[in-house]
């Protein structure tokens, strides 16, 4: 089985793996610098004395920093590169709600004035606690871990039922087609043009979104291996990075997670079944939801194939940690080969 490292942003140095009682959200790119003096000023708003600051240069979206305090503990500072203050505040409200309802996820610290969001270089910035945990590679994904992933995914969906304030989905079929239409296809090589055309045709087939139903809830939308931390004994520590969270179909979220975790060289039935077993411990999977999974699995594969083309393939290599869109074309092939009845069988009764 291959190690699907592009799904984990990049191989992290051992120094970036938390070994104490703290956890930070998954690291991203360094786009906006922060000096030690600026970090110290931000820390004092929380009554914290920052002694050292280290930028974390991975990923493509936000600028992240690990800070060590005078007492030896650490905190995590995130500068949001693309989200306005209002959107970050809404995300923090959701994190607070999920954590209060039993979802294991870090919540931004509150400063002495009761605020969670500040500004750095004209952009929102938040301070997070750490908690113990590390990432795992694909070879270490087993049925026991998959059941726990299913449990926390169901916990997110259950906590999100009836939640007011989740943003709309930004990654539907229409939005993905618009991304592809924005490409200058004549500037792409022949293979990439052919793949983009295939994706556009597939999205056309899925463009009629299903009507919103009573089953819709808050979905994570991006529960990949780099967004889950684990204790050394195999227990799940935390789910991270809810920037793609939205009001959506839990079948889509289940399928995103299935494709992210249950595919090495091929889609593995035993891991799919373990994911569903864990999910069922916390939330009912209705027949309607299960029957919708074939469409949503295809949509999940298309969503990440398209965003990897636009976010990674068209950038110079080395600018961000590269993620290969072809991995999600392979996932799409696997789902289509399995077919709706085959996938339904794997998802169980």
> What pLDDT sits at residue 290?
93
Nearest to 251 by CA among 213, 224, 304, 281: 213
At residue 62, the pLDDT reads 86
Query: Which residue ranges in the chain fall short of pLDDT 70?
Result: 1-30, 57-60, 185-187, 208-214, 314-321, 349
Q: Which pTM value belongs to this model?
A: 0.87
What pLDDT is stored for residue 29 in this prediction? 55
The CB density around residue 218, as the number of other CB atoms within 10 Å, is 27
Say what the pLDDT of residue 209 is.
60
Give the count of beta carbons closer than 10 Å to the beta carbon of residue 235: 13
| Helix ranges, 182-268 (H) | 190-206, 250-261
pLDDT at 61: 76
Return the pLDDT at 10. Answer: 35
How far is 248 from 255, CA to CA, in rounded Å? 12
Segments making up each domain of the chain, as ranges? 18-129, 138-347
| DSSP code for 316 | P
153: Cα separation from own chain's centroid: 12
Evaluate whether 18-129 and 138-347 have a shared fold.
no
CATH superfamily of 138-347: Aminoglycoside phosphotransferase (APH), C-terminal lobe (3.90.1200.10)
**Residue-wise pLDDT tens digits, 47-93:** 999 999 999 765 457 898 999 999 999 999 999 998 999 999 999 99
Question: DSSP H helical segments within 142-243, as ranges?
Answer: 143-159, 173-181, 190-206
Query: What pLDDT does 189 receive?
Result: 79
pLDDT in tens, 165-220: 898 888 888 899 988 887 776 667 788 888 988 999 999 888 766 655 668 999 99
Please tell me the CATH superfamily of domain 18-129, with its number: Phosphorylase Kinase; domain 1 (3.30.200.20)
Instruction: Please give the pLDDT value at position 126.
Output: 97
Q: What is the pLDDT of residue 11?
A: 32
Nearest to 167 by CA among 84, 58, 102: 84
Report helix angle 250-261 to 143-159, nearest 10. 160
Q: Within 10 Å of residue 20's Cβ, how many Cβ atoms? A: 11
The tokens describing 263, both together, are 């595919």
Find how far residue 178's CA is from the centre of its chain: 22
């Amino acid at each position: 089985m291959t190690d699907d490292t592009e799904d984990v942003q990049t191989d992290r140095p051992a120094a970036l793996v938390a070994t104490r009682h703290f956890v930070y959200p998954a690291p991203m790119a360094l786009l906006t610098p922060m000096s030690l003096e600026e970090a110290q000023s931000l820390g004092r708003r929380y009554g914290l004395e920052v002694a050292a600051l280290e930028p974390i240069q991975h990923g493509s979206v936000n600028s992240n920093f690990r800070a060590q305090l005078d007492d030896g503990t650490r905190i995590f500072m995130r500068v949001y590169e693309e989200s306005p203050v209002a959107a970050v505040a809404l995300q923090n409200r959701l994190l607070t709600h999920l954590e209060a309802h039993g979802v294991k996820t870090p919540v931004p610290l509150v400063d002495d004035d009761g605020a969670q969001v500040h500004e750095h270089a004209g952009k929102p910035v938040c301070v997070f606690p750490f908690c113990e945990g590390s990432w795992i590679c694909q070879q270490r994904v087993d049925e026991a871990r998959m059941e726990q992933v299913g449990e926390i995914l169901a916990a997110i969906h259950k906590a999100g039922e009836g939640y007011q304030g989740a943003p709309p989905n930004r990654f539907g079929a229409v939005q993905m087609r618009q991304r592809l239409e924005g490409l200058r296809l004549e500037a792409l090589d022949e293979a990439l043009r052919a793949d983009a055309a295939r994706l556009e045709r597939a999205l056309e087939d899925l463009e009629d979104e299903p009507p919103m139903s009573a089953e819709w809830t808050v979905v994570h939308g991006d529960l990949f291996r780099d967004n889950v931390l684990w204790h050394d004994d195999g227990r799940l520590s935390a789910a991270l990075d809810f920037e793609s969270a939205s009001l959506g179909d839990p079948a889509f979220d289940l399928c995103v997670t299935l494709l992210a975790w249950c595919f090495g060289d091929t889609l593995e039935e035993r891991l799919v079944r373990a994911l569903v077993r864990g999910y069922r411990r916390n939330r009912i999977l209705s027949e309607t939801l299960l029957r919708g999974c074939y469409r949503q699995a295809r949509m999940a594969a298309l969503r990440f194939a398209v965003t990897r083309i636009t976010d990674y393939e068209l950038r110079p290599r080395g600018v961000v940690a590269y993620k290969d869109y072809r991995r999600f074309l392979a996932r799409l092939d696997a789902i289509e080969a399995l077919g709706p009845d085959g996938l339904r069988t794997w998802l169980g009764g």
